[in-house]
Chains A and B, each alone.
Chain A
Amino acid sequence: MKKILKNILDWLELKVSYADLRFVQTEKENIEVENGILSSYNVSTNRGVGIRVLADGAWGFAASNNLDEASLQETAAKALDIARASALTKKEDIRLAHEDKHIDTYITPIAKNPFQINPAEKIDLLVKATKMMLKDRVKKSEGSFSFYKTHKIFISTEGSALEQTIFESGGGMAAYAIGEGDFQKRSYPSSFGGDYATRGYEFIEEMNLLENAERTAEEANQLLAAPPAPEGITDIVLGGSQLALQVHESCGHPAELDRALGKEISYGGGSFLTLDKLNNFTYGSPEVTIVADATVPGGLGTFGYDDEGVPASKSYLVNKGKFVGYLMSREDAFKLGLKSNGAARAENWNRIPLVRMTNINLLPGNLELNKLIGEIKKGLYLDYNKSWSIDDRRINFQFGTEIAREIKNGKLGKIYKNAVYQGITPEFWKSCDGISSEKYWHVWGVPNCGKGQPDQGMHVAHGTSPARFRKVKVGASK
C-alpha cells in the first residue's frame, strides 16, 4: 500500500502546492446485550484512501475504497478537479502554518489486545451484568462493548511519513425502571454507551461491571419513586461524568477556531469566543483551567499525530479563568500567525480533517469531595448526562442529568429525578468556586462528538473531577 501511495503522491507533486494521502483501515467489534440476551454482535472492517490537495490556492478532496493504483490515480485526479472548482470562489490562496517534517510510528500502549479476547468471554460478562440488573421495576437492562483497531498511514508532499495504530475499548450498561407513565434510566460507568479509552481490554476489566450492576439497578428503582428535582436558584456540584459534558459543550466546541472563524456557521453554529476575545476575556473563575491535551495516557482523544501530521500536544484553552487559546488546524492557525496545536482530525479515510477536540481537560483543584459538598448549605449534586442543548454560539445551555441528590447542611440527602440546570456559559464558569482534587479526576471518553458536513463522529475525552458552582438555575423536566 505504501508504494502505491508514494506513486500517487509523486504524480501529484508537480500539480499542487500541497497534498496529503491517508490510508485508514479500521476493525471494529460491537457487542450489545439486552436483558441477558445477545441482541447484536457485529464485526466490521473498513479501509480506504483519502487524498487532499491544495491546487490553484483552494482545497479539493476525494476518497475511495478502491485501493488499486489505477483507481487511486482517478481519485487523485478527481481531488484536483474539485480543487479547481473550489478556486472559483476563492478570496485568497489557502496557506498552512509551518510544520516540521515528521517520520515516525505510534502505537497505543495496551496491556490486553481486545481482539484477542474470546468473544464468548465478553458476551458472558454483559449477559451476567444485564441479568443482575433485572430487579424490581427494572424491566429492561442493556450493556454494550465496542473495540476498535485503527491503522493509519499518512504521507504528504512536505515529506512527512507517519504510521499509527490506535486501539480503543469501551462500553457500559444501563438499567431502566419502568412504571405506569414513567421510566427512569440509570447508567454505569457513564451515560450514552458508557466510558471509552485508548486502552486494551484491561479498561473493561477495571470497570467492575458486575460489582456495580445491583447498585445501578437499585438507583433506577429509587429514581422511579423519587420526586422531581426542585425548581429555583441553588448551589450545585457537578459529578465528573456530567462535568465532562459541560466541558465538551461549553468549552470544547466554542474553542474550535474554525467555529470562531465562521466555517461551521450554517450547521453546528459559531462561537462566542470570537477572535477579539483571545487573551482578552474572562471565561471563568480563577479556579478554572482547561487544557487540550492529546498526550494524556489512555484518553480517548490521545494519539501520536493528528490527521495533518502534527504531533500530539498539550495547550491551554483557559488558564486561571482567562481565555488563552483555540483548538487549531494548520490552515486556521496560519490566520492567527500561530502553529497548529494538532487538533485537525478526520473520522475516517473518507472525511477531511476538521478542527476537533482531543482530550479537553478541566484540571483538578485541591479540595476533598466532602469539603466541596460540605461547604454547601442547600443545593444539589447532579451527575450522568440525560439531555443536552446549547445555542449556536454556545452561550445559553440547558443540561439534564440522570440523577440528582439533595445537599443539605453539607451532606448528601434524598434522590430527585428529571433534574435540569440552565446557564449562560461565562457566567456559569465564573460561578465555579471549587474543584475537587486529582484523587477524583478521571478522563471520560466520549465516542460520539458530531460535527461537519458530511457528518463526522469523533472520539474525544474530558478529564474532570467534581466541581462546585454557585447560584445556578435548576428545575425538572415535565
Chain B
Amino acid sequence: MKDISSGKELVNKIKSFIKNYDFEIIASEGKSELTRFAESYIHQNVAETNLNLIVKVINEDRIGAVEMNSIDDHTIAKNIEKAIEVTKIAPKLDYHYQLLKPQSYKIKSKYSKDTANFNPLNRAQLVSQLIKEVNKRGYEAAGAFKTEESTLLVANSEGVFAFDRGTKVDFNCVITRDNSTAHTSFIDSDINNFNIDKITDELLLTALKNVEQIEIDPGIYTVILSPEAVSEILNYTGYTAFNGKTIMEGKSFVCHNQGKKIFPETITLSDDPFNELTMPIPFDMVGYPREKTDLIKNGVIKDGVYDHLTALKYNKKCTGNTLPPEHTSFGAIPFNLVMKEGSNSVEEMISSTKKGIYISRFHYVNILNPMSVQLTGMTRDGTFLIENGKIVRAIKNMRFNASVIDMLKAVDMISKERQTKPGSIGPAVTPYLRTNNFTFSSKTSF
C-alpha cells in the first residue's frame, strides 16, 4: 500500500496487526508545492509528496503512539509492536480514556481541482507578472506562493471513520524600495479566486504611501488595526487564553472571568468552522465533529476550546479541537477564529479619528504575560499617522507592549468588512478594529 486513498483498507490492515487492543489512527497525505521569490527572482522552488500515519494504541488507560511515513506491512507491523510494548510499561492515565463513538459530519473541506492541478510554471508566470509590475515603480518583490492538496483520515477501533480532502492556496508578498515597503497575504482553497492584478495594486497603493517615515514617541495611542494585524493578535490570544487545558489548570484569564461582561457589546469572537469565509476541516484529530464554540459573546467571556483528553480528564465537553498526539500536552487551540463584523466602513473609522495610528501588520509577536494576555511585537510594512481624520504620514516602526484584554475593552469601532487571513490552524476571519488603548513602548530606526 502506497497511499491512504483506500481508507477502509488501511484501517482494516491496522486492525489486523493490533488485534485485541483499542486504537486510534490519523493518516494524512498530500502534495505541497511552494514557489519563493526575493529580489524579484524565484530563488527557492520546491515540491513535496509525503504521507504520515500515526497509530495510537490504548491498553487499559495506557497509551503509546507511533508515527511513520511509509505504510508497507513491515513498517506498520514493526511500529505497532513498539506502541503495544509501551502500553505495557507506561503508567496509567489518571482518568479513564474513552474512545469516541462513530460520528456524522456536517461540513467538508473546500476542494478545487484547479488548485490541485496548478503547476510550477503556472505559479512562476503569476510571480513573473507581479515582479514586472512592481519593478516598473522601482520596487523589488519577495514572497511565497504555495498550492497544496491534502487528504486526512481519522479512525478508531470503535468505528469512527472520518475522511476528507482539501486544497489550499497560500500567498504572501512584501515589496520594497529602500525603506518603503508593503505587504499582503492571500489564503483560499480555490486558485480561481486569486487575483494577481488586485494584489499588485494593493501592494503598490500601500508602498507608495509608506515613504519618508517620521519618528513618533512611544506612548498610549488610538490605533486602527488591519484584519491581518487583528488576526495575529487574536491567534496569540486564542492559544494562550482560550485553550481549555490552560483554563482548567488556572493559567488563563478566562478561568476568573467566565460569564463576566468585560468587553463592549460589539465584541463577539468564536471558533466557527461554519463561517463561509473560513476554510474548515470537518473533524478534529480523534474524529470529533468540528462545531461552533463561542469564546466571547456580546462582550461576555464564555469558555475556551477543549480537546478530547482534556475534556475526559476534567469532565468537560470536547469542542472538536483535538490536536495530533505529539501536541497532546499542549491542550487545544481554536481552529477557525471568527470575529463578528461591526457596522463601520474603514473610511469612517479613519475619518472619525482625530489622532491615531494605522497598523498594517505586526512582526515577531510574542506573549509577555499569559494571564493578562500582554503581548509584544513590532509594527512592519506600513504604519501610518492619522490626524484629523486623514492618513497624513508614514511613521517608523514601533514596539508595542499591550494587553489584549485592555485593548479589546477600548474597542469603539469595528468594520463591516472582514477578511480571511492566515491563522494558527485554519485561517481567521477578522475585521478592522479601532481601539483607544494601545501601548507602544519603544521605537526602531526604520
* Complex Cα gap A64–B31 (Å): 9
* A454 x B79 contact (CB < 8 A): no
A337 interface contact, C-beta 8 A: no
* B42 x A64 contact (CB < 8 A): no
* Closest chain A residue to B249, Cβ basis: A140
* Residues on the B chain within 8 Å of A182, using CB: 371
* B399 x A48 contact (CB < 8 A): no
B344 interface contact, C-beta 8 A: no
Cross-interface CB contact of A41 among B51, B63, B397, B401, cutoff 8 Å? B63
* B67 x A42 contact (CB < 8 A): yes
Residue interface mask B2-28, A partner, CB < 8 A = 1: 100000000000000000000000000
Stretch of B136-144, B154-162, B209-217, B296-304 lying at the A interface? B136-144
Cross-interface CB contact of A183 among B45, B123, B365, B371, cutoff 8 Å? B371
* A61 x B176 contact (CB < 8 A): no
* B378 x A396 contact (CB < 8 A): yes
* A88 x B125 contact (CB < 8 A): yes
* B140 x A420 contact (CB < 8 A): no
B314 interface contact, C-beta 8 A: no
Q: How far does the Cβ of A114 sit from chain B's closest Cβ, in whole Å?
A: 15
Stretch of B89-97, B220-228, B287-295, B385-393 lying at the A interface? B89-97
* B69 x A59 contact (CB < 8 A): no
Q: How far does the Cβ of A429 sit from chain B's closest Cβ, in whole Å?
A: 16
Most buried by A among B140, B146, B325: B325
* Residues on the B chain within 8 Å of A424, using CB: 444-445
Stretch of B32-40, B190-198, B410-418 lying at the A interface? B32-40
* A47 x B369 contact (CB < 8 A): no
A366 interface contact, C-beta 8 A: no
Stretch of A119-127, A151-159, A194-202, A312-320 lying at the B interface? A119-127
Q: How far does the Cβ of A415 sit from chain B's closest Cβ, in whole Å?
A: 17
Q: How far does the Cβ of B155 sit from chain A's closest Cβ, in whole Å?
A: 18
* Complex Cα gap A84–B121 (Å): 8
* Residues on the B chain within 8 Å of A265, using CB: 38, 142, 174, 176
* A47 x B67 contact (CB < 8 A): no
Cross-interface CB contact of A78 among B32, B47, B131, B174, cutoff 8 Å? B47
B106 interface contact, C-beta 8 A: no
A60 with B125, Cβ < 8 A, contacts A263-B39, A266-B173 known: no
* A44 x B67 contact (CB < 8 A): yes
* B32 x A89 contact (CB < 8 A): no
Q: How many residues of A contact B (CB 8 A)?
A: 87
* Closest chain A residue to B78, Cβ basis: A45
- Which residues 33-85 of A have a CB within 8 angstroms of B? 34-48, 58-67, 75, 78-79, 81-85
* B50 x A398 contact (CB < 8 A): no
A221 interface contact, C-beta 8 A: no
Cross-interface CB contact of A43 among B66, B329, B374, B441, cutoff 8 Å? B66
A392 interface contact, C-beta 8 A: yes
* Closest chain B residue to A67, Cβ basis: B70
* B444 x A266 contact (CB < 8 A): no
Most buried by B among A32, A63, A86, A390: A86
Residue interface mask A352-394, B partner, CB < 8 A = 1: 1000000000000000000000000000000000011111110
A477 with B67, Cβ < 8 A, contacts A48-B50, A89-B131, A422-B441 known: no
B382 interface contact, C-beta 8 A: no
* A59 x B43 contact (CB < 8 A): yes
A390 with B69, Cβ < 8 A, contacts A59-B45, A120-B89 known: no
* B326 x A123 contact (CB < 8 A): no
Cross-interface CB contact of A395 among B63, B176, B445, cutoff 8 Å? B445
* Complex Cα gap A89–B34 (Å): 15
* Residues on the A chain within 8 Å of B86, using CB: 41, 43, 119
A65 with B399, Cβ < 8 A, contacts A90-B41, A422-B441, A454-B34 known: no
A3 interface contact, C-beta 8 A: no
A453 interface contact, C-beta 8 A: yes
B44 interface contact, C-beta 8 A: yes
* Residues on the B chain within 8 Å of A181, using CB: 253, 256, 371
B109 interface contact, C-beta 8 A: no
B342 interface contact, C-beta 8 A: no
* B250 x A139 contact (CB < 8 A): yes
* Residues on the B chain within 8 Å of A42, using CB: 65-67, 325-326
A100 interface contact, C-beta 8 A: no
Q: How far does the Cβ of B61 sit from chain A's closest Cβ, in whole Å?
A: 10
* Residues on the B chain within 8 Å of A437, using CB: none
A61 with B47, Cβ < 8 A, contacts A42-B66, A392-B380 known: yes
* A85 x B45 contact (CB < 8 A): yes
* Residues on the B chain within 8 Å of A82, using CB: 33, 45-47, 120
* Closest chain A residue to B439, Cβ basis: A478
Cross-interface CB contact of A178 among B82, B140, B142, B249, cutoff 8 Å? B249
Residue interface mask A394-418, B partner, CB < 8 A = 1: 0110101000000000000000001
Cross-interface CB contact of B369 among A34, A84, A120, A478, cutoff 8 Å? A478
Cross-interface CB contact of B329 among A63, A142, A178, A389, cutoff 8 Å? A142
Q: How far does the Cβ of B54 sit from chain A's closest Cβ, in whole Å?
A: 8
Residue interface mask B148-192, A partner, CB < 8 A = 1: 000000000000000000000000111010000001000000000
* Residues on the B chain within 8 Å of A392, using CB: 363-364, 378, 380
* B146 x A63 contact (CB < 8 A): no
- Additional 18 contacts, C-beta under 8 A, given A176-B251, A478-B368: A30-B326, A37-B94, A38-B63, A38-B91, A42-B65, A43-B82, A58-B45, A61-B44, A62-B48, A64-B48, A86-B124, A140-B249, A266-B183, A388-B366, A391-B444, A393-B444, A393-B446, A453-B34
Top 5 closest A-B pairs, CB basis? Answer: A44-B67, A85-B120, A396-B444, A477-B368, A266-B142
17 residue pairs of the A-B complex, CB under 8 angstroms, read: A45-B79, A85-B123, A89-B128, A176-B249, A182-B371, A263-B44, A265-B176, A266-B144, A266-B172, A389-B365, A389-B376, A390-B378, A391-B397, A391-B444, A422-B442, A477-B369, A477-B401
